[in-house]
Structure 1
Amino acid sequence: MIREFKDIKRDINEHADVLVIGSGAGGAVAAKELAEKGIDVILIEEGSYFTSKNYNQDPNDMMGMMWRDSGTTLALGLPPVSITLGKAIGGTTLINSATCFRTPETVIEKWRKSYGCEGLDYKELLPYFEKVENEISVTELSEDVLGAVYQVVKRGAKALGLSAKPLRHNVKNCEGAGICQFGCPRGAKQSTDVSYIPKAIQAGARIFANCRATKLLTESGRIRGVKGKVIDPSNGKAKHNIHITSKIVCLAMGAMITPAFLLKQRLANTSGQVGKNLTIHPCGRVVAEMEEEVNGHHGVSQGGQIDAFAGEGIMLEGIFLPPGLMTMSLPGVGEDHKYIAKHYKNLAAFGVMVSDTTRGRVFRPLLPGFPFSSWYSLNKTDTGKLKKGIEITAEIFFEAGAKRVFTGCTKMPILNSKEDLEIFKTMPVRAWHFELAAFHPLGTCRFGNDPGESVVDMNLESHDIKGLFIPDGSPFPTSLGVNPQVTIMAFATRTSDYIAESIERY
């Protein structure tokens, strides 16, 4: 069972061989893999535990329940960027779009050659990718579940000589409810709360929700456990104390919170790299008003992809939002807004995701009550990629018969014709002209063989503190160019194998 706030009546004083902090793509995998190898595991998660019975399909309610800061988390910069993070059993896997990619082989090669990751071998990772994909049921969906927006994009892409392809998703019996980011009402999405966590429990792992880690315990350069607080989810106040001792700690809070947690305690940072090198896959959204009804809310929210420009650092992937969120994100007030709301069924949308060369930074929290502060200001190169991706997507929609296209760029927010698009192509823009969102923070505790240039080694163990592992998105030294959950899960599986093989040394 998962012990929640309502089940915890007193202070928690426990011991385990391994303590895992976080239950997303890294933490849940580590807990399950280690528990199945007979290792005594405790996992704590700051957020609450939800099941499909808790999901009312109202996006505003679900964001308040499962999204950190109700979806208002920002990286400050020009422009500021909204960063979506989960806060629940399941972490961000609970609120992502279920899109699955393996790490591109070119990325692994770049890490090996240019980022001090000698010894990292793509072929060695293949069994881990396969294992993860089997655990979370990665599959290619049928076109009826991919939704009508996919068909619109496929039609427009074909006219331009491009190929739109289905994305692969971690789902079982998906019916295309279209609200992947707000809690799957059918339990089809195989987020870690329904895939890895039940198996971890079955193998003997002890799982605690509503438990916030506040301090790592160390002694003579070794990890010794954690202190924390049991949090009342109704008001955010601390109710009981937590003291858990362990030989090993897997710190898997995610690439925004993990570095801030370490910086706050001045730990594991002899390299000076903790919190630096933040990449986020900045994203833009292009929305088209079509002549016909599309009903983009029917089918998965992220169905298709166009990867023809991936070599340039531009991925085009499907995206769609429920009515309230979609209409309020488009320009126009009064009668213009009413018109958009009335014609919601005619809207189609596609996303532009940039493999960023920009590097941001995570800091200790500047304000009380927040787990971190961050800065990310899109550079000129990435701004150019974003604009090109928007231009391509707009062209696809016009070829598919769009009446007009919303660019998400304040310099020219609406294109009413192909002629407008040609004007937009020649228009100089700056980063702050774009509305940005991001979903994939990575890189803030990067791995490598050189302790002077990296935070953890290739097994994801701290160079500074023996027994401290970071199996989340923090260790990856560059952006991936693709959605990262399978990469995080595969490396967490690999690290779990290493821990299990070497635990007697701790």
Structure 2
Amino acid sequence: MSRLPDPVAQGLSRGWRVMGGPYARPPERMDCDVVIVGSGAGAGITAELLTQVGLDVVIVEEGPLRSSRDFHQLESEAYPQLYQESAARKTADQAINILQGRCVGGSTTVNWTSSFRTPKATLAYWQERLGLHDLDPSAMSPWFAQAERRLHIGDWLVPPNENNDLLRRGAVRLGMAAPAILRNVKGCWNLGSCGLGCPTNAKQSMLVTTIPAALEQGARLLVETRAQRLEHDGERVLGLLCVPVQAHGDVAPDRPATRIRARHYVVAGGAINSPALLLRSKAPDPHGVLGRRTFLHPVVISAARFEQRVEGWQGAPQTIYTDHFLELHPIDGPMGYKIEVPPLHPVIFATTLSGFGCAQAELLAQFAHTHALLALLRDGFHPDSPGGRVTLRRDGSAVLDYPLNDFVMDGARRALLSMAQIQFAAGALEVMPVHEMARPYRTWQQAQQALQTLPMKPLLTKVVSAHVMGGCAMAARAAQGVVRPDGRHWQLENLSVIDGSIFPTSIGANPQLSVYGFANRLATGLATQLTGRTPVLA
């Protein structure tokens, strides 16, 4: 694999204009047509489309530029290099661990490639309840289709690994549909290390698709550079103040700041970081909505031990799902959940499962025989599911307060029951709900009885997330959101937000294709407004 071509290295040798970190020092003043904060799903699509119509674009990324030559399938390297807070970002009460990318390509560099269009039920809710009337499935379909073609999103034609097939077999035996997941890969080697950076460049992340396309068109990329503050007069943004940071995130005190002046500013740092930038900038927020209604798809986990080897670290990490439990109740009723399969790697396994000392050693001894299911809770559709709130610490860094209330934890209990039933139906010898007070259960009846009485409390029930949405919601009225339906800020006329933070609820499915589709729509509109030319993502 070390001999495979590295398109990033090749681009740098051709003269891509990359600054910051180990590259050339950025100037203290820069001018451009559009500056984009972030380089993930929303930013990458936006950068490619804006450069396509001839706009001078600067991309500002806080994380480092890493590429396939740096991806060695090692957790010890990947988490500190590629993730926010070394894959240990947590909510204010430490009750939820959040995985988000922090590198060129953002979370697209480290996600598991699962690709779903925004569910029809979600779009219908936004239309009926929030006045976003232009977002019906037929209107959004062309934008998704273009993104799918551009990023090679399609069927995974290889049989699922044992880890995923156990979900399929258990669900089918219980009469539940368990279809395959579309993936954004091209020439995938089926290695199973998607979350550690793709060493073969098969994953069609922003790192190897849209960001290189923008750089080929002359865009400039600032890495290891934090967008600190937007300077504005209450009606227009006048500049962006950026500070250099070290690879691990601390400010580099020996390097000067950079001020970027642009015609238009696009914030695409992802939910949590995008609201935080606007909060640090004291952006107008007359209705007190900025940073609120931030959603996570809170995830609970059920582990199980099987007689046969499962080897959850091998093969495509996430290829089977069931939406059976999303469809049992109305979207605004009891919290529904999507069930999927996570890959298993030693560090993430050991730090997620309950227990320590001898108990954990026994679990690790069974690592090759261990299977896991996760349930993504669909938050944001019920009055008792208002999500969380992004605020700032004293140093200006972001923190998310996300209360795990009784409504959320009722969904968590039902999800743990559902996953245990599926695992026993698939032939599990024992099921281990990931809860501090749970123990391994050898029958479905034992697990059912225990899970109905376990206290579902924060820090006792293990909750994680990799899907952060909201905080800069789009809305039909200024009183309901931060941005208009076209992504433009309601009060700052030359500012757009184009990332997952614009979603007014959670998606109810892995959100990367939703971000791609909406970014395609919004950035195409922005390019047309700024130049009179209409780009096409292709």
TM-score where L is the length of structure 1: 0.95
Q: Which residue of 1 aligns with 2:152?
A: 137
Q: Which residue of 2 aligns with 1:183?
A: 197
SS at match of 1:353: strand
Query: Does the C-alpha gap of structure 1 residues 118 and 405 become closer, same or farther in structure 2, counting only changes over 3 Å?
Result: same
Q: Which residue of 2 aligns with 1:102?
A: 117
1:356 aligns with one of 350, 361, 379: 379
Moved more, 233-242 or 418-427: 233-242
Structure 1 residue 339, shift from structure 2 partner? 2.8
Q: Which residue of 1 aligns with 2:494?
A: 467
Q: Deviations over 1:94-153 (max 9, x none)?
A: 111111110012211111111132333332211110111111111221343x31112222
Q: Which residue of 2 aligns with 1:341?
A: 364
Cα pair 1:268 1:462 within 8 Å, conserved = no
Query: Does the C-alpha gap of structure 1 residues 328 and 274 become closer, same or farther in structure 2, counting only changes over 3 Å?
Result: closer
The whole-number CA distance in structure 2 between the counterparts of 1:125 and 1:135 is 16
The whole-number CA distance in structure 1 between the counterparts of 2:531 and 2:284 is 22
Q: Which residue of 2 aligns with 1:232?
A: 246
Q: Which residue of 2 aligns with 1:210?
A: 224
Q: Which residue of 1 aligns with 2:339?
A: 316
Q: Deviations over 1:235-275 (max 9, x none)?
A: 64141221111110000111101112111222131221001
1:74 aligns with one of 70, 87, 90: 90
SS at match of 1:166: coil
Q: Which residue of 1 aligns with 2:287?
A: 271
- Percent identical residues: 25
Query: Does the C-alpha gap of structure 1 residues 161 and 91 become closer, same or farther in structure 2, counting only changes over 3 Å?
Result: same
Cα pair 1:303 1:319 within 8 Å, conserved = no
Check if 1:112 corresponds to 2:127: yes
Q: Which residue of 2 aligns with 1:416?
A: 442
Q: Deviations over 1:190-213 (max 9, x none)?
A: 111111111111222222211211
The whole-number CA distance in structure 2 between the counterparts of 1:337 and 1:83 is 22
Moved more, 159-168 or 88-97: 159-168
Cα pair 1:263 1:274 within 8 Å, conserved = yes
Cα pair 2:239 2:261 within 8 Å, conserved = yes
Q: Which residue of 1 aligns with 2:476?
A: 449
Structure 1 residue 434, shift from structure 2 partner? 1.0
Cα pair 1:211 1:229 within 8 Å, conserved = yes
Check if 1:25 corresponds to 2:51: no
1:55 aligns with one of 65, 71, 75: 71
Q: Which residue of 2 aligns with 1:427?
A: 453
The whole-number CA distance in structure 1 between the counterparts of 2:184 and 2:169 is 26
Q: Which residue of 2 aligns with 1:195?
A: 209
SS at match of 1:402: coil
Q: Deviations over 1:419-473 (max 9, x none)?
A: 2123124325323231000111111011112112211100010110011000011
Q: Which residue of 1 aligns with 2:430?
A: 404
Q: Deviations over 1:398-430 (max 9, x none)?
A: 122211111012342422222212312432532
SS at match of 2:49: helix
The whole-number CA distance in structure 2 between the counterparts of 1:132 and 1:10 is 32
Structure 1: gaps spanning 5 or more residues: none
The whole-number CA distance in structure 1 between the counterparts of 2:393 and 2:20 is 29
Cα pair 1:4 1:49 within 8 Å, conserved = no
Q: Which residue of 2 aligns with 1:366?
A: 393
Task: Return the letter of the residue paired with 1:114.
Answer: R
The whole-number CA distance in structure 1 between the counterparts of 2:435 and 2:365 is 23
Structure 1 residue 291, shift from structure 2 partner? 0.8
Cα pair 2:60 2:225 within 8 Å, conserved = yes
The whole-number CA distance in structure 1 between the counterparts of 2:214 and 2:51 is 6
Structure 1 residue 231, shift from structure 2 partner? 2.3
Q: Which residue of 2 aligns with 1:491?
A: 518
SS at match of 2:501: coil
Moved more, 222-231 or 164-173: 222-231
Q: Which residue of 1 aligns with 2:23?
A: 7
Check if 1:502 corresponds to 2:529: yes
SS at match of 2:417: helix
SS at match of 1:96: coil
Structure 1 residue 183, shift from structure 2 partner? 0.8
The whole-number CA distance in structure 2 between the counterparts of 1:241 and 1:462 is 26
Query: Does the C-alpha gap of structure 1 residues 136 and 7 become closer, same or farther in structure 2, counting only changes over 3 Å?
Result: same
Cα pair 1:20 1:42 within 8 Å, conserved = yes
Cα pair 1:52 1:186 within 8 Å, conserved = yes
The whole-number CA distance in structure 2 between the counterparts of 1:374 and 1:339 is 34
The structure 1 segments of at least 4 consecutive aligned residues displaced by more than 4 Å after TM superposition are none
RMSD: 1.9
Task: Return the letter of the residue paired with 2:137.
Answer: Y
Structure 1 residue 328, shift from structure 2 partner? 4.3
Structure 1 residue 166, shift from structure 2 partner? 1.6
Check if 1:122 corresponds to 2:123: no
Structure 1 residue 350, shift from structure 2 partner? 1.4
Structure 1 residue 10, shift from structure 2 partner? 5.2
Q: Which residue of 1 aligns with 2:10?
A: none
The whole-number CA distance in structure 1 between the counterparts of 2:33 and 2:357 is 60
Cα pair 2:306 2:429 within 8 Å, conserved = yes
Q: Which residue of 1 aligns with 2:101?
A: 86
The whole-number CA distance in structure 2 between the counterparts of 1:81 and 1:211 is 27
Q: Which residue of 1 aligns with 2:313?
A: 297
Task: Return the letter of the residue paired with 1:112.
Answer: Q
Query: Does the C-alpha gap of structure 1 residues 143 and 393 become closer, same or farther in structure 2, counting only changes over 3 Å?
Result: farther
